[in-house]
Amino acid sequence: MKGKLILKKHCCEDMTYHANFECELHETPFDCPDKIIIYEEKDNDYALIIHDGGTARMSINFCPWCGMKL
């Protein structure tokens, strides 16, 4: 049984949803077409996943939904 998952709040509801989204069908976030944002808590880094079959990502400095600086 997994421990209690604590969801981090982000700049807006949309970013919070996408940064915390975990797919139950795919092994990695890079395999899931519904996972579009990767958030690395240790670096406080946000990135868009580039679904090209690998682990490519593009760092972003502003929220795609609300425009706030990340």
Q: What is the pLDDT of residues 34-64, one digit of tens each?
A: 999 999 989 989 999 999 999 999 999 999 9
Torsion, Cα of 31, 10, 58, 48 (10° steps):
40
pTM for the predicted model, two decimal places = 0.81
Predicted confidence band of residue 5 (pLDDT cuts 50, 70, 90): low
**What pLDDT, on a 0 to 100 scale, did the predictor assign at position 8?**
75
Q: Are 48 and 37 in contact (CB under 8 A)?
A: yes
Q: Where does residue 21 rank: exposed (0-12), middle (13-18), buried (19+ CB within 10 A)?
A: middle
What does the angle CA 47 – CA 17 – CA 2 come to, to the nearest 5 degrees? 100
**CA 64/CA 24 separation, integer angstroms:** 25
Give the model confidence (pLDDT) of 15-32 as tens digits: 999 999 999 999 999 999
**What pLDDT, on a 0 to 100 scale, did the predictor assign at position 17?**
94
Domain residue ranges in the chain: 13-60
